[in-house]
DNA sequence: GGTTGTTTATATGTAGGACATATAAATATA
DNA sequence: TATATTTATATGTCCTACATATAAACAACC
């Protein structure tokens, strides 16, 4: 045998990524949009003009434009030309934040992000709450069916936390939460199937509600943080399990 | 004149969006990937097979697949077929989080998100910091050139906060910060050109550093929150200005 | 036996042609 | 002034063709 002789097979060198013409045209088109300082609604050249200017086939142009359409940078109006547009950032986030089609590692990383975000918005919540918010949150609380260990249903949970995020009065934060919430639902479904039982924090929804209503921004934050701690524990455990698994491989 | 008679022109009804075949095929392909429970690296049918199965032209299939390639759900290996893949979520985020190509409203909303996130990770920072982190952060602090009002350069700012986010030990939070940071840079560049001067908080980088080093998770959070308050003030002011402008229009 | 060279089928990447059709603009009509 | 007709336009969709990198199968060689 070759023993300790280093064979060609052993060379660890990452392959040169094959960059298609479409990839390059996509980049070039984004640059073009940036350079031209378009306002939303401005007409851009036609497919034929782009194809001509870049000296590529209309197919390639269309594939690149199709990508930009998906990102929302342009909108095509059938038979009338294309116009620039501000993309719907959260819509694109939604396309790629599919819990089923992401790695476990990504799921856990994003769950941690969501928890951090919820802790971080406590100041916003406190500053922007209205009497109507308090009233609506109390209504949601009344709908809750609390089990013997203080647990509530998935729907109760989603309702409560969604309302919390809504009080922050920031569409981006709110929509981001909806997307990240899906990941929780997906991951916890799997854990439940394995017989996992989530520890319930003593900082219940009711405690959070009371702090939001008549506590301080600080006490609210502590309540939220404490409420989410069991989730954080599970994420930390799962992350550790993942890392160990990697080392075994 | 027609006076107060309601004319057809005045009817406010949003047009029915034209959905292309490519749009529908894209949705169908994502469903397909979800249904089939593919592992990353699994071979999927060829373009011809998809075109045949869905009874559409290869062009349409290719445009839809091109979008999925951009999202990272599939990878095409030239002449060898396509395989499934876990998308690089943050790479896609980067494509759509271009500060130049987003509305002012989106910029402000995302800036607020970033601030909330930075406040929210203080627990992570405190729990995950290492002596090496403290040392490196101190090194960054030493590089800072502090002006008479306590202001530091953009680069000093980026270095410090990037290191902070790095201590959270979460790639997704960290990369997200890099993307959102760009928006700050872009917005502040515009404000500066208008002669705007940012109020500097008494909670300087040094204060944050000291709290991280020898304070508590709570005192650290307060320092970060206080440090970011001037930014929050500006965002609130700009948001209000935007809303007023809308009402005028 | 293991390496090297040859052949072949395969699937993506790219080009180019064709046509349907919705729309806007121009024109004509009532 | 409102409606009807015509025309040029640009996107959406389909089709054909071919270059070429790769894998697999096979042959040749030391």
For residue A79, the SS3 value is: coil
Measured from the CB, is B60 under 7 Å from any atom of strand D? yes
All structural domains of chain B, each given as residue ranges with its CATH number in brackets, are 21-87 (1.10.10.10), 92-248 (1.20.120.530)
User: In which band, very low, low, confident or very high, does the pLDDT at A15 lie, cut at 50, 70 and 90?
Assistant: low
Q: How far apart are CA B202 and CA B199, in angstroms?
A: 10
- Decide if A170 contacts A124 (C-beta within 8 A): yes
CB pair distance less than 8 Å for B112 and A63: no
Given this model, what pLDDT does residue A84 score? 96
Q: How far apart are CA B159 and CA A69, in angstroms?
A: 35
Measured from the CB, is B202 under 7 Å from any atom of strand D? no
For every residue of A14-50, which 3-state class applies, written as one string? CCCCCCCHHHHHHHHHHHHHHHHCCCCCCECCCHHHH
Chain A CA closest to residue B20: A78
Q: How far apart are CA B69 and CA B87, in angstroms?
A: 9
Closest by CA position to A92, among listed B117, B32, B184, B67: B67
Contacts of B81 (CB under 8 A, 6+ apart): B43, B44, B46
Contacts of A86 (CB under 8 A, 6+ apart): A40, A72, B101, B102, B103, B106
- Closest Cα in chain A, distance from residue B99 (Å): 10
Q: How far apart are CA B200 and CA A22, in angstroms?
A: 46
Between A74 and A146, the higher pLDDT residue: A74
- Decide if B116 contacts A121 (C-beta within 8 A): yes
For every residue of chain B, which 3-state class applies, written as one string? CCCCCCCHHHCCCCCCCCCCHHHHHHHHHHHHHHHHCCCCCCEECCHHHHHHHHCCCHHHHHHHHHHHHHHCCEEEECCCEEEECCCCHHHHHHHHCCHHHCCHHHHHHHHHHHHHHHHHCHHHHHHHCCHHHHHHHHHHHHHCCCCCCCCCCHHHHHHHHHHHHHHCCCHHHHHHHHHHHHHHHHHHHHHHHCCCCCCCCCCCHHHHHHHHHHCCHHHHHHHHHHHHHHHHHHHHHHHHHHHHHHHHC
Protein footprint on strand C: which nucleotides are under 7 Å from a CB? 10-17, 20-24
Protein footprint on strand D: which nucleotides are under 7 Å from a CB? 9-16, 19-23
- Decide if B213 contacts B134 (C-beta within 8 A): yes
Interface test with A, best of B41, B63, B111 (most A CBs within 10 A): B63
Residue with tokens 């013997």: A148
Given this model, what pLDDT does residue B187 score? 94
Given this model, what pLDDT does residue A4 score? 39
DSSP result, A176-203:
HHHHHHHHHHHHHHHHHHTT--PPPPSS
- B68-81 pLDDT, tens per residue? 999 999 999 888 89
First to last CA, chain A: 25
Residue A2: pLDDT above 60? Answer: no
Distances (CA, A) of B61 to A22, A59, A61, B71, B77: 15, 12, 15, 15, 16
- Closest Cα in chain A, distance from residue B142 (Å): 28
Residue B83's DSSP bridge partners are: B43, B75
Burial track A177-211 (b if 16+ CB lie within 10 A, e otherwise): bebbbbbbeebbeeeeeeeeeeeebebbbebbbeb
- B201-223 pLDDT, tens per residue? 889 999 999 999 999 999 999 99
DSSP state, residue A6:
P
pLDDT mean over A166-179: 97
Given this model, what pLDDT does residue A10 score? 43
pLDDT mean over A10-39: 85
Residues of chain B with pLDDT under 50: 1-10
Given this model, what pLDDT does residue A9 score? 39
CB pair distance less than 8 Å for A173 and B120: no
pLDDT mean over A89-104: 95
DSSP result, A129-182:
--HHHHHHHHHHHHH----TTS---HHHHHHHHHHHHHHT--HHHHHHHHHHHH
pTM of the model: 0.90
- Decide if A209 contacts A137 (C-beta within 8 A): yes
R_g over Cα of chain A: 25
Q: Which helix (H) or strand (E) holds A246?
A: helix A217-248
Given this model, what pLDDT does residue A7 score? 41
């Amino acid at each position: 045998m070759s023993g300790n002789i280093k064979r060609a097979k052993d060379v660890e060198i990452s392959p040169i990524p094959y960059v298609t013409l479409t990839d390059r045209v996509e980049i070039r088109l984004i640059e073009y949009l940036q350079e031209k300082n378009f306002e939303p609604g401005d007409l851009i050249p036609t497919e034929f003009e782009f194809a001509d200017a870049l000296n590529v086939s209309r197919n390639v142009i269309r594939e690149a434009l199709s990508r930009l359409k998906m990102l929302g940078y342009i909108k095509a109006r059938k038979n009338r030309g294309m116009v620039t547009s501000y993309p719907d950032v959260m819509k694109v986030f939604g396309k790629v934040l599919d819990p089923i089609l992401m790695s476990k590692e990504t799921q856990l990383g994003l769950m941690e992000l969501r928890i951090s975000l919820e802790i971080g918005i406590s100041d916003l919540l406190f500053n922007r709450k209205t009497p109507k918010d308090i009233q609506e949150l109390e209504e949601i609380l009344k709908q809750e069916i609390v089990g013997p260990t203080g647990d509530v249903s998935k729907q109760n949970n989603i309702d409560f936390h969604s309302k919390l995020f809504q009080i922050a009065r920031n569409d981006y934060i709110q929509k981001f939460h909806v997307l990240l919430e899906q990941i929780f639902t997906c991951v916890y479904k799997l854990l439940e199937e394995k017989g996992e039982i989530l520890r319930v924090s003593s900082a219940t929804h009711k405690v959070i509600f009371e702090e939001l209503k008549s506590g301080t921004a600080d006490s609210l934050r502590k309540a939220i943080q404490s409420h989410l701690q069991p989730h954080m524990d599970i994420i930390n455990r799962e992350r550790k399990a993942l890392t160990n698994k990697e080392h075994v491989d």
